[in-house]
Structure 1
Amino acid sequence: MFASLSSNTATTDTPNSQSSLTEWLDYMQQIHVSAIDMGLSRVLPVAEYLGVVQSAKDDAYVFTVAGTNGKGSTTAVISAMCQAAGYKTALYQSPHLSCFNERVRINGDMVSDETLIAAFSKVEDARLQCELTLSFFEMTTLAALLIFAEADCDVWVLEVGLGGRLDVVNIIDPDMAVITNIGIDHVDWLGDNVEAIGAEKAGILRDGITLIYGDTEMPNSVQQLIKTHHATCYQVGQNFSYHIEDTQIWQYSNAAVTLQLPRPALSLINTANALSAVLASPLNVDISAIENALQTVKLAGRFDARELADRHWLFDVAHNEQGVNFLLAQLVPLWQQHISSQPDNQPNKKTGTIKMLFSMLGDKDIEMVVQSLSDPQLPISNWFIAEIDHPRAATIEQLQNALSAHVDPAHIQVFSDLQQATHTVIDNSQPQDLIVVCGSFHTIGEALSTLEAH
């Protein structure tokens, strides 16, 4: 049964076309009973009323990307390659770091507040006509799809928000599916084992589709769904591979081609998955477009090194086992390079330390992340922790309990919010130190907002 409008709508004034983007976002966070509400039964009638499903089917080539980690990097690379080849390319990602508009891009540019507000208004009208309530993610995703349809984009690159089978992105039939990897995450919604999670993520498959699978291990549930849908699967390590040539070049190979390519600023496994998807598609993307894309593509918050406030910073959204392991694999050599690059005439050469600005959501395995980050090869001198401004934020008590088993309490500083923690880590660090910010998209977003104001 559809949820009735009267039983789930909060008593709040509906914004209009003159309202601000913030007012619309606040409104959409209040009108449904839960922030996460898996399923397509409510969202499909609204999508059909808006015509976005048919528009994608008739007018665009659609890449849909699911997976536990690496979705953002993979979608960014696919989008960059298609755009470089001359296609009008739509990119939908979530969540954002600093600005909601980051989620909805056309040809690399964030859409305007005005464009979003117009789309939100149309989605709200359609929702009311269908007498349904929608969650914040459902409302905003429908708005993004409507914007892409109205802009008549050639290519849609869609990142799944949670899982796959029941995620609102899955109302659009993909032409090409990508599953980056499958790990344990979001257990409350997807299950606590890779077989159950794999079945959810492989729910993006359609009959006869091509799937790029970016991990060497594949759950039986995914294998079975590939057979059920008579899908063609290209898997890393079996159908394509990659390796590093040097600091500037990497090599990609499949049965048809071997390419020497410039190294991007993003993960090579995610880049290889993205390239495999583009090469397996019927799109005309030549080598020059691929090279141009790899030289320019970036993604905030994914092993994102910056110089800010006279300090060295590294931002990474790692919040689960796979994400942290990937972070460590790159962070250890980066740190070694960092300390070896200190000038010889600097008195405190190689005495820098790592300062960890850290917070997570409460439904994540915080202790596992902390244990992994407590790597003896990384001299983390201090942890700066605070609660994220989010309904699902881990409490200070949760963070301290997770840290207590692996970190000397004398090295932990507690703050009321991320803004205060960010200012303090600047004041308590030196130019030769490295400040690592990780644990959640929200941790990075709040730290970056503070630094921008700083």
Structure 2
Amino acid sequence: MKYTEARFILDGLPSLKVKPGLARINRLLDVLDHPERAFRAIHIAGTNGKGSVAAMLSSILLQAGYRVGRFTSPDLIDFRDRISVNNRWISEEDVAGRVEQILPVLKSAEDRPTLFEVLTAIAFAHFAKSRVKLAVVEVGLGGRFDATNVLDPLLTILTNVGRDHLALLGEMLKQIAWEKAGIAKAGVPFLAGELSPEAEEIIIKECEKARAPLARCDPVAVERIAFDWKRTTYRIEASDLPETIDLALLGGYQGENLKITLRAVELLRKAGFILSNDAVAAGLTDVSWPGRFEVMKLNPTIILDGAHNLPAALALAKDVKRYVPKRLHRHLLFGILSDKEAEAICHVLFPLFTKVTLTCSQSPRALPLDLLAKIASSLGVECKQAPSVEEGLISARSCLEAQDVLFVTGSLTVLREARPILMEVPCRP
């Protein structure tokens, strides 16, 4: 089977319809001889920060000499970037081979697996074939009924609990926390980041039910002491960790993700992994995670940030005020998906910017431009409209001066379309 054929089959799978349950993923794994049993794993859930923590841990483990698999979502650069071993994406040939192997299940007329379930199975098979020592696996949605929850991990992590995917997970924090706590396993440390009292109550209860020891980040403290457009320097207070860290991931919100990562390092050491302070420092200096406060250009500065829900928008707003003084002109290119809290997110972000350009990605879930414009109008914000991300970039960049800053945000689908344009086109139009 050719890769183009495999992609055609994958693109035809259901993706938006979430059907709770692990029966379909187990059927796929049966065909593949249960590759998930061939490697150890770190399982990461959370509303925000999953990918950043996964990237940091993978980078540290790689620097320590381990063979590391990583499974994240959604893709941002290429369809295959979700699945990697030692930072090398799965090959087109391997994708095609796995699709061919599970084709009978995919052709089944009854209860067909979703795209995410198939990608999960392909990732696990790739990790087993590649003989990874450890896989860092990000939950796709929720946790309890997510396809990745077939893993028997050595560490589970919950970065945070917030409102996202409202139509699928529900609007109540307690309900969302219950879904995410479903990755807890008996005897496996469950590391939780900062939680609201409401979410914490549920997490404690579910960990007790699962007999999973609950670990907190309190033994580690981080303080941001320096920043430039290439790195942020943190002072670390913890036993047997580097005193300072130069983190290649920008954005103030990465401080909490760093704290979780460093606490995870302590727990991995207890599990027998040899992670020297040199490996920790080098991994964090070298880490890359596209689309998270990613500086694409300077003079003028263009930043991509995947703030796609209210907690992420609030975090981005803090960074805009912290890093971009009012005397500089702040520009915004913004598009969002229809299942997000669009009005609340716009209310948080729009007043911070001198000029706002609205756009719409090619995603079928994208909020139509006319509805987004109505929200902007109700907030009293004057804005330009661009029917595509490419046209939005042209429009927004046409009025940038050398000292201006343009933020592109609102949806990872917008970033997916903007990033290759910015990689190929000269900074000034």
- Output one character per residue of 1:30-51: Cα deviation in whole Å (capped at 9) or x when no partner: 2438543332122212112212
Q: How does 1:205-220 map to 2 (within 5 A)?
A: 205-217=184-196, 218-220=199-201
Following superposition, the deviation at residue 156 of structure 1 comes to 0.3
Q: Any conservation in 1 of the 2:143–2:179 contact (CA below 8 Å)? A: yes
Change (3 A) 1:211 1:37: same
Q: Which has the larger radius of gyration?
A: 1
In structure 1, how many angstroms separate the alpha carbons of the residues matched to 2:178 and 2:276? 34
Q: Which residue of 2 aligns with 1:345?
A: none
Q: Kindly report which structure 2 residues correspond to 1:87-98, keeping only aligned pairs within 5 A, or say none.
A: 87-98=66-77
Looking at structure 2, the residues matched to 326 and 113 of structure 1 have their Cα atoms a distance apart, in angstroms, of 37
Counterpart residue number, 1:9: none
Say if 1:234 and 1:240, in contact at 8 Å, map to a contact too.
no
Range 381-390 or range 64-73, more displaced? 381-390
Q: Deviations over 1:407-432 (max 9, x none)?
A: 43xx3111221111112212222222
| TM-score (norm: length of structure 2) | 0.90
Report the alpha carbon displacement of residue 125 of structure 1 after superposing the two structures with TM: 4.2
Kindly provide the amino acid, as one letter, of the partner of residue 347 in structure 2.
Answer: Q
Q: Where does the alignment leave 5 or more consecutive residues of structure 2 unmatched? A: none
Aligned residues: 412
SS at match of 2:187: coil
Q: Deviations over 1:350-380 (max 9, x none)?
A: 5x411111000001001111111134xx3x2
For residues 234-253 of structure 1, what are the structure 2 equivalents within 5 Å? 234-236=215-217, 238-247=218-227, 249-253=233-237
The 3 A distance-change label for structure 1 pair 374 and 417 is closer
For 1:413 and 1:89, the matched residues in 2 are separated by 45
CA distance in structure 2 between the partners assigned to 1:251 and 1:31 by the alignment: 47
Equivalent position of 2:212 in the other structure: 231
Output the amino acid matched with 2:256.
I
Closer, same or farther: CA 165–32 of 1 in aligned 2, 3 Å: same
1:199–1:222: 8 Å Cα contact kept in structure 2?
A: yes
Partner Cα separation in structure 2 for residue 143 and residue 130 of structure 1? 21
For 2:420, what is the secondary structure of its paired residue? Answer: helix
Q: Which residue of 2 aligns with 1:301?
A: 291
The answer for the alignment partner of 1:413 in structure 2 is 384
Q: Is 2:12 the counterpart of 1:41?
A: no
Kindly report the root-mean-square deviation, in angstroms, between the aligned alpha carbons of the 2 structures. 2.1
3-state SS in 2 of match to 1:401: helix
Structure 1 residues 25 and 398, CA gap change in structure 2 (3 angstroms):
farther
1:173-206 alpha-carbon deviations (Å, 9 max, x no partner): 2210000000111121212111110010011111
Separation in 2 of the partners of 1:422 and 1:392?
Answer: 20
Matches within 5 A, 1:28-427: 28-32=10-14, 34-52=16-34, 55-57=35-37, 59-128=38-107, 133-217=112-196, 218-236=199-217, 238-247=218-227, 249-254=233-238, 256-257=239-240, 259-266=242-249, 267-281=254-268, 282=271, 283-307=273-297, 311-336=300-325, 350=327, 352-375=328-351, 378=352, 380-408=353-381, 411-427=382-398
Q: Deviations 1:316-362 (Å, cap 9, x if unpaired)? A: 010112101211222222112xx8xxxxxxxxxx5x41111100000
Most deviating of 192-201 and 210-219 = 210-219
Structure 1: stretches of 5+ with no match in the other structure: 1-16, 340-349
**Partner secondary structure for residue 357 of structure 1:** strand
What amino acid does structure 1 have at the position aligned with 2:403?
A: Q
Once the two structures are superposed, residues 272-321 of structure 1 have per-residue CA deviations (whole angstroms, 9 ceiling, x without a partner) of 2122112202211111110110111121111111217x631111010112
Question: Once the 2 structures are TM-superposed, how far is the Cα of residue 91 of structure 1 from its aligned partner?
Answer: 0.6
Taking the aligned partners of 1:321 and 1:143, their CA distance within structure 2 comes to 32
Query: Equivalent residue of 1:65, what SS?
Result: strand
The Cα of 1:245 is off from its aligned counterpart by: 4.1
Q: Cα deviation per residue 1:57-82 (whole Å; 9 max; x = unaligned)?
A: 3x422001000000110000110111
| Equivalent position SS for 2:407 | strand
Where 1:259 maps in the other structure, the secondary structure is: coil
Letter of the 1:300 counterpart: P
Residues 424, 130 of structure 1: CA spacing in aligned structure 2 closer, same or farther, 3 A cutoff? closer
| Amino acid aligned to 1:393 | A
Q: Percent identity?
A: 24
Rate the CA distance shift 1:197–1:41 in 2: closer, same or farther, 3 A: same
Secondary structure, counterpart of 1:374 in structure 2: helix
Mapped to 1, the partners of 2:244 and 2:40 lie a distance apart of: 25
Query: Is the CA contact 2:39–2:127 (under 8 Å) kept in the aligned structure 1?
Result: no
Q: Report if the CA contact (8 A) 2:46-2:142 is conserved.
A: yes
